[in-house]
Amino acid sequence: MAERSFAKEVQKLRMGAGEEFSGEGILAITKALLQCGVGYVGGYQGAPISHLMDVLADAQDILGELGVHFEASASEATATAMLAASVHYPIRGACTFKSTVGTNVASDALANLASGGVTGGALIIVGEDYGEGSSIMQERSHAFAMKSQVWLLDPRPNLPSIVKSVEDGFELSEASNTPVMLQVRIKCCHVHGKFVAKDNKRPPTTVADALSNPRRDTGRIVLPPASFLHEKEKVEKRWPAAVDFIRSRQINEFFGAATGRIGLVLQGGMYNGVIRALQRLGLADIYGDTEVPLYVLNAVYPLIDDEFLDFCEGKDAVLIIEEGQPNYIEQAFGSLLYRNGGTTRLLGKGYLPVAGEYTGQVMLEGIGDFLRDQAPELLPDQIRAPNRAEEEPDPAIDLAKVVPGRPPGFCTGCPERPIFAATKLVEQELGPHHIASDIGCHLFSIMPPFDLGATTMGYGLGPASASAFNSPDATRRSISFVGDGGFWHNGLTSSIGNAVFNQSDGVIVIVDNYYSAATGGQDILSSRAANKSKSTKHPITEAVKGIGVKWVRHIDRTYDVTKVRDTLREALTTEEKGPKVIVASSECMLNKQRREKPLASKAIKGGERVVKPRFGVDEDVCTGDHACMRLSGCPSLSVKTLDDPLRDDPVAHVDHTCVGCGNCGEVADAAVLCPSFYRADTVHNPTGAERVSARLSRRVIAWLQRRRESRRLVFSGASA
Amino acid sequence: MTVALDHGPDSVLGDRILRVAILAVGGQGGGVLTNWVVDVAERNGYRAQSTSVAGVAQRTGATIYYVEMCPDRGRQPVFSLSPSPGDVDVMIAAELMEAGRAIIRGFVTPNRTTLIASSHRIAAVSEKIAPGDGRASSHEVEIAAQKAAKTFIGFDMEKMAVEAGSVISSSLFGALAGAGVLPFPRESFEATIRESGRGVEASLRAFALACDEAARRQGGDKMGAPQPPRVEHASAAPLPLGGQPESEDSRTDGPAATRAGEPVGDERLLAQWRELDRRIAALPEVVREMAEPGLRKVVDYQDPAYGAEYLDRLDEALTKDDAAHGFVLSHTAAKYLANAFCYDDVIRVADLKTRSSRSARLRREIGVRDDDVLKVTEYFHPRIEEICGAMPARLGRWIEARPGLATWLDKRVNKGRHIRTDGVFGFGMLWVIGGMRRWRRSLLRHAVEAEHIDRWYRLALGTVARDYDLAVEILKCRRLIKGYSDTHARGLSKFDRVLSALPLLEAQDDAAGWLRRLREAALKDEQGTMLDGALQTVASFAGPSFTGPTQPPEGTAGSAPAA
């Protein structure tokens, strides 16, 4: 069960011809797939394409009706390998993942798929996690397209264009027997817009049909001598076919004046940013109408030589607007121009920065400078020679030192927080260790207040990245973390299996929160929930033992900080050789709350007995040293100033968003912090016996309190 | 670069693309607000496009949402997918530091941006983990906002929303309507909320409050009524469940709140209290201001006799003080003596946790209905140090002098104990411990603390004649001692390290200033890394003859309390 339910959105997938679809970019792609008669879809979740996977998972009924097979693949490699179904059979298939990390994982399958080529259209939708909001290394998917010679579409970021790209992509794939990658950037995935829907299409050949009529063609299998022929076929047959298709179907677009001294060449995805810059330069209206010639590459690989040469005809200079580096497009066009004796100046990086996202400001400055230098006569007077100085932010306002950074962190009640609190406590005892981190929410440990973790080398590769630290001379062991998502993605073999085989002596902590949580709470093999269409409840401990780990400990409540700390200490100090694996399990709080909160409210209304926990701080016991926060960082645990002139520092305070996870109390206990915390369990609709017993206790307690207070001075308002 | 020539020859003159950006903290509901903004635009015949940067940023990090809109003339405009510096018409910040972030990023400019910001704070992790007060200055952001924005509308929209039983997206939406920057009638905003379908009535209440407030400020009353420094009082009503993080407060430096008059108690005790009250009344006003709450705290902690002891010690400072110095020394002494007298021991904790006022406060704060049962669990982790501290001084010292025995005993007692204080047994246990108050002054912990106070206080008063300001700063170093067990030990060690610089500072012109800087450095981080750096600086100007920070004047390590 994913973090967000798309039950409502899924109904939009049923829309028929002529109806207006309104929603996120990523949903538009989902709808487009169905309109194209896709036969099967796979993928691996991850921003910015998680919602695509979630929608499909919630749309099992509709997919079933259409005969479309859907898989939540084990990894991006699995998802891409799945496209093998389109090698021999005329079935359209699609897969999706986050790029470039997903493409890295997928590239083995991608290269094999690209070599043999496809019969049915094969579309790979990559969510390009680049620029603001990205959580990964900044690289380009473009290189993968080039190296495996699969075609890369980069449509203008609006819903009708994206939807058309899906349709074009399948046809291009079939016309050129080549898989096609469709690239969508973060903001494009999350853009809300509209397009006019078409009817969904049942795949002409379903996977069931194919299974009944198996086919094979050794010519499509990647094995010599076929593999040598594949390479030739790529350049001799498939490439020209793709170029023909792109040219004849006018996949790339031209805007603005037909002639002009200058022009802009841009990736489709850059279009809105370029138009905004032109709008601000007074050269385009709000609809994007402009006199500046634009050549928009909705297909960025392969490039169409004569289209570009025609565009350059009669122009003094063109500016290539290509986000990311290396600047493959600029290089290709430069060489093309030179080989054809072109005299047009080719400009790009230089006016525009080599690296980094092409934000609105970057575009405005880059295009503005290009025009001022190359075609100043185009610019309105106000822009060319403004009377008023450009409005710069007031330099007197320097808030950079004031405003604190706010990186993402563990949610309120996160079960991973106590694991790192325990790690910090164990390090206080045994000294600092080399800690290898992995991909997932648990990577937030690298930031304050925990400051734990030295590297992150890829999904499921945490323990693998500590594999060099295995020395008989060492006095300390390495600690490595891997999440349940990473564990099943790749970690079981690459990390755990590797550690067993190489007799690693390190400590491995598997953070099991019942979901692939960082990507939105999708189910995985070890999820505890029953899932209609997936097989879950496969314990990680069994897998770990199965692969040969002897020292395995399972902690089934991570909030028990003392136990986690003691187990870690044992793992770090035991005489036993070989990998020490601790599986620390507790449900992702975000998902747990979403699941349990409505049920609890309903139960309370229905008169059922429900216990609701919450934590609090006795503010007069708290001394304001904030030791608790240095072991927590929970959003619901914050500071507040007391109305007490005797106090200098703010005290700890638990607000009403507390979910009563228990970390505060456990940490106070394990770290021997202070007795300020209390846990308050409200019993809604208590049983009769409970009520009577509570009333009696309260009476006795009240009597004791009266007795004590009659013998002292009681100040109103003081020390409540 | 803001000359906007958005319209070409064919378009309707005056049609502009309005740019609205929203900065929020992950989990604040920025997505809901974004959808509402799009809805109200479409409701008024506009085309709108929204984008967001989701992903892991939503996990409590700073997030940004962006909406563009323009009148619908039957043709799709080209909207941008992200805001640009100097190109934003309306900037909505769901938290004050996020407004600061918007200003840093250049999204707020004086010729066009209306900045709508909730003035409440959600402390970032870096602000919370400082041992002292690590919170950023709201004031600086507010000043910057006034300068940076064309119009700045800022008030506590979080509080407004919570009081209306809603969440901040409603009040932000109200402020957006009230600011009058979008050309849409108020009714259409309300219609948008009505159609969203969940918690409509509460949302509309929060919307209306914020809308009126924003309109009032937009009408010229920009600064609003002068507000006293904010302090959080326990709210009388239980807060709605599932709300947003409640407001953080700003620093308070204001005068002490006037407290209710006389305490309640039997005549004998009251007579003693009145005697103390008369002594307080005789103090200079500046001193009285602090001595009053100080005395209350000390008497509340122990008894009137202890209060008399407190006033006696305060008098020692007064005899060395005068009006020419503004009685700063005595004022400071009144504050830190009270805190030192009320050291946090097991008895104190047990006492505070068994009071009737505490039971009442818990039920109120948690929001327990009368027929519901409240179970309360306290987390204690006693160590042998605390046990010895609660023993008669001689016995406690006898045990502490035998490490083998102390370790053996520690193994028996040193573990976490979860005590249920809603039950008679758990409560009774704490009640008994709280009752040890009457013997407190004969216990080991008291002996240790009294000695420590005496040494510190004498050091301070002994410095007055030579350097009045330095004496005041020595008194203030008491602030470093706080917390329980290890934290307390660390505080003590910082206290000792700061004071260890005294011999070096005495030769300096600005000894008081340097001691203050050392103390502030000590409050920056847990381990005292900043303090060590500052001490080295002090050592460096102390000359080559100096070989490093000296040991504290005397070994001041006391038994570290934890309960």
Give the pLDDT confidence of B228-260 residue by residue, as tens digits: 444 444 444 444 333 333 333 333 333 333 444
Q: What is the DSSP letter of B129?
A: S
Q: Which residue is closest to B99 within chain A, CA to CA?
A: A403
Q: What would the mean pLDDT of B420-426 be, rounded to a whole number?
A: 95
pLDDT given at position B497: 94
For B503-544, the pLDDT digits (tens) are 988 878 899 999 999 999 999 888 889 999 999 988 887 665
Q: Which residue is closest to B291 within chain A, CA to CA?
A: A646
Q: What would the mean pLDDT of B68-94 be, rounded to a whole number?
A: 95
Contacts of B184 (CB under 8 A, 6+ apart): B40, B41, B43, B44, B177
pLDDT given at position B238: 40
B49-79 burial, b at 16+ Cβ within 10 Å, e below that, comes to bbbbbbbbbbbbbbbbbbbbbbbbeeebbbb
pLDDT given at position B12: 53
Residue B304 at interface with chain A, using a CB cutoff of 8 Å? yes
Q: Are A366 and A351 in contact (CB under 8 A)?
A: yes
Three-state DSSP string of A100-161? CHHHHHHHHHHHHHHHHCCCCCEEEEEEECCCCCCCCCCCCCHHHHHHHCCEEECCCCCHHH
Q: Give me the residues of A, 130-159, that contact B with CB < 8 A.
A: 132-135, 157-158
Low-confidence stretches of chain A (pLDDT < 50) are 718-720
Q: What would the mean pLDDT of B391-412 be, rounded to a whole number?
A: 94
For residue B550, is pLDDT > 70? no
pTM: 0.92
Residue type, A636: S
Residue tagged 């509570």 (tokens): A694
- Chain B residues inside the 8 Å CB shell of A425: none
**CB distance A708–B435 less than 8 Å?**
yes
Q: Burial of B394 by CB count in 10 Å (0-12 exposed, 13-18 middle, 19+ buried)?
A: exposed
pLDDT given at position B244: 34
Residue B360 at interface with chain A, using a CB cutoff of 8 Å? yes
Cα(B510)–Cα(B527) distance, rounded to whole angstroms? 26
Phi, psi of B341 (to 5 degrees): -60, -35
**CB distance B50–A623 less than 8 Å?**
no
Residue A399 at interface with chain B, using a CB cutoff of 8 Å? yes
Cα(A286)–Cα(A266) distance, rounded to whole angstroms? 19
Q: What is the DSSP letter of A491?
A: I
Q: Can you tell me whether residue B106 is helix, strand or coil?
A: coil
Q: Which residue has the higher pLDDT, B316 or B223?
A: B316
The shortest CB-CB distance from B249 to any of A444, A641, A698 is to: A641
Q: Can you tell me whether residue A69 is helix, strand or coil?
A: strand
The shortest CB-CB distance from A402 to any of B141, B232, B427 is to: B141
For residue B25, is pLDDT > 80? yes
Residue A620 at interface with chain B, using a CB cutoff of 8 Å? yes
pLDDT given at position A462: 97
Q: Give me the residues of A, 400-439, that contact B with CB < 8 A.
A: 400, 402-412
Distance from CA of A613 to the nearest CA of B (A): 9
**CB distance A273–B137 less than 8 Å?**
no
Of A399, A588, A676, A697, which to mutate for an interface test with B (greatest number of B Cβ within 10 Å)?
A399
**CB distance A391–B87 less than 8 Å?**
no
pLDDT given at position A335: 97
Residue tagged 């990964």 (tokens): A136
In degrees, to the nearest 5, what angle opens at C-alpha A454 toward C-alphas A452 and A457?
Answer: 125
For residue B282, is pLDDT > 80? yes
User: In what helix (H) or strand (E) does residue A62 lie, and over which residues does it extend?
Assistant: helix A60-66
The shortest CB-CB distance from B78 to any of A275, A683, A713 is to: A275
Cα(A17)–Cα(A201) distance, rounded to whole angstroms? 11
Strand partners of residue A639: A652
Distance from CA of A559 to the nearest CA of B (A): 14
Distance from CA of A315 to the nearest CA of B (A): 24
Residue B258 at interface with chain A, using a CB cutoff of 8 Å? no
Report residue B48 as tokens.
């709108």
**CB distance B124–A406 less than 8 Å?**
yes
Report residue A235 as tokens.
């350049």
Residue B165 at interface with chain A, using a CB cutoff of 8 Å? no
Q: CB count, 10 Å around CB of A553? A: 18
Residue A596 at interface with chain B, using a CB cutoff of 8 Å? no
For B461-508, the pLDDT digits (tens) are 999 999 999 999 999 999 999 888 888 988 999 999 999 999 988 878
pLDDT given at position B58: 61
Residue type, B52: S
The shortest CB-CB distance from A276 to any of B75, B80, B269 is to: B80
User: In what helix (H) or strand (E) does residue A511 lie, and over which residues does it extend?
Assistant: strand A507-512
Strand partners of residue A437: A456
- Angle between helices A271-280 and A360-374 in degrees, nearest 10: 60
- DSSP H helices in B164-199: 168-179, 186-196
Contacts of A711 (CB under 8 A, 6+ apart): B266
Q: Is the dihedral of CA A482, A484, A489, A492 positive or negative?
A: positive
Place B370 in a pLDDT band, splitting at 50, 70 and 90: confident
Alpha carbon separation from A547 to A469, A581, B216 (Å, rounded): 21, 12, 69
Beta strands A455-456; A435-437: pairing state: parallel
Residue tagged 């917390």 (tokens): B483
Q: Which residue is closest to A289 within chain B, CA to CA?
A: B8
End-to-end alpha-carbon separation of chain B, Å?
63
**CB distance A188–B424 less than 8 Å?**
no
Residue tagged 């603001």 (tokens): A132
| DSSP of A277-330 | HHHHTTSB-TT--BSS-EEEESEEES--HHHHHHHHTT-SEEEEE--SSS-HHH
User: In what helix (H) or strand (E) does residue A5 lie, and over which residues does it extend?
Assistant: none
Q: What is the DSSP letter of A454?
A: S
Phi-psi region at A335: left, alpha or beta (left = phi > 0; alpha = psi -120 to 50): alpha
Q: Are A586 and A525 in contact (CB under 8 A)?
A: no
Q: CB count, 10 Å around CB of A123? A: 31
Q: Are A551 and A576 in contact (CB under 8 A)?
A: yes
Phi, psi of B468 (to 5 degrees): -60, -50
For residue B55, is pLDDT > 70? no
For residue B557, is pLDDT > 60? no
- Chain A residues inside the 8 Å CB shell of B384: none
Residue B254 at interface with chain A, using a CB cutoff of 8 Å? no
**Residue B254 CA neighbour count, 13 Å, CB half:** 13
The shortest CB-CB distance from B3 to any of A382, A400, A690 is to: A382
Q: Which residue is closest to B146 within chain A, CA to CA?
A: A397
Q: Are A138 and A198 in contact (CB under 8 A)?
A: no
Residue A191 at interface with chain B, using a CB cutoff of 8 Å? yes
- DSSP H helices in B354-443: 356-366, 384-389, 393-400, 403-413, 424-435
**CB distance A285–B10 less than 8 Å?**
yes
Q: CA-based diameter of chain A, in Å?
A: 104
Cα(A254)–Cα(A568) distance, rounded to whole angstroms? 62
Residue A594 at interface with chain B, using a CB cutoff of 8 Å? no
Q: What order do you get walking across the sheet with A151-153 strand by strand?
A: A69-72, A40-43, A93-99, A122-128, A180-185, A151-153, A299-301
Nearest partner of B420 among A287, A698, A80, A219, judged by Cα: A698
pLDDT given at position A395: 59
